[in-house]
Amino acid sequence: MVLRGLAAIGKAGVPTTAVMVLLAVVTGILLPTLAYLAVALDGSRRSRERDRLARDLDDDFQQQSDRKDGARANVDLVLGIDAVLRQKVVPEICLDVQTTIDAVHPIFNFGRIQIGGLRADPPEKVGMTITKDDDGNVFKASISTGIPGARSVDLRPLLNRTARLAGLVAEAEALVTRLDAVPAHPWVRSSSPMSGLEHGPRA
């Protein structure tokens, strides 16, 4: 290329020849270098963009997983509290009331003995009285001493709390259903490449 250029110019001095050679060398080295840098820099930009997208998807996946785990933990907490209240706290309350009611009978019978001459048999202990509707739901419950004229203990407040608790449990179970219906995060490792983003975590 240099020789053809010099031949085209004709007689050229040393400075002209040196400039021609320098331009040829610079052009021969610079153009391939610029072409390589264009590809290399473009590849680096794409790589950085891909890595940034991967990090964003990783963060979003982690946030979704944390929120799901937190929601499920809260539901499990509610169901655990329900089990404790129904299986332990409520029966213990009823047992304590029944024990307190039954403690009246020895005192009452002692009074009967002091009076003397009573023909009627002493009242017997009465357990909890439960009234249910046609669907089997308890709407009335009480604990009585069995002594005529003595007021029984109404368990309606306890029933109201139990009904409220049953409603909360139903809401918790509905939330579990909704939580299970949430689609899996799209950032899932795939066996087939997808736009170069196949290395994401598994949901």
Query: DSSP for 2-68?
Result: HHHHHHHH-S--HHHHHHHHHHHHHHHHHHHHHHHHHHHHHHHHHHHHHHHHHHHHHHHHHHHHHHH
pLDDT one-digit tens code per residue, 128-145 = 888 777 776 667 888 888
Q: Do the domain assignments include residue 141?
A: yes
Indicate if 103 and 155 belong to the same structural domain.
yes
Indicate if 142 and 99 belong to the same structural domain.
yes
Domain ranges, residue 20:
1-34
- Percent of the chain at pLDDT > 70 equals 72
Dihedral (CA of 137, 143, 148, 151) sign: negative
Indicate if 75 and 175 belong to the same structural domain.
yes
User: What residues have CB less than 8 Å from 203, skipping those under 6 apart?
Assistant: 61, 65, 184, 185, 187, 188
Indicate if 79 and 160 belong to the same structural domain.
yes
Q: Do the domain assignments include residue 134?
A: yes
- Percent of the chain at pLDDT > 90 equals 2
Give the pLDDT confidence score for residue 37 in this predicted structure: 66
Indicate if 86 and 159 belong to the same structural domain.
yes
Q: Do the domain assignments include residue 193?
A: no
Indicate if 85 and 137 belong to the same structural domain.
yes
Give the pLDDT confidence score for residue 4 in this predicted structure: 59
pLDDT of residue 187 exceeding 70, the answer is: yes
- With contact defined as beta carbons under 8 Å apart, do 122 and 104 qualify? no
Give mean pLDDT, residues 76-100: 89
Give the pLDDT confidence score for residue 191 in this predicted structure: 33
Quickly state the pLDDT bin for 193 (edges 50, 70, 90). Answer: very low
Q: Do the domain assignments include residue 44?
A: no
What's the number of domains the chain is made of?
2
Indicate if 24 and 109 belong to the same structural domain.
no
Q: Do the domain assignments include residue 197?
A: no
pLDDT of residue 179 exceeding 70, the answer is: yes
Quickly state the pLDDT bin for 41 (edges 50, 70, 90). Answer: low
pLDDT of residue 127 exceeding 70, the answer is: yes
Indicate if 27 and 76 belong to the same structural domain.
no
Indicate if 79 and 24 belong to the same structural domain.
no
Q: Distance between CA 91 and CA 77 in Å, rounded?
A: 20
Q: Do the domain assignments include residue 50?
A: no
Indicate if 76 and 22 belong to the same structural domain.
no
Indicate if 115 and 18 belong to the same structural domain.
no
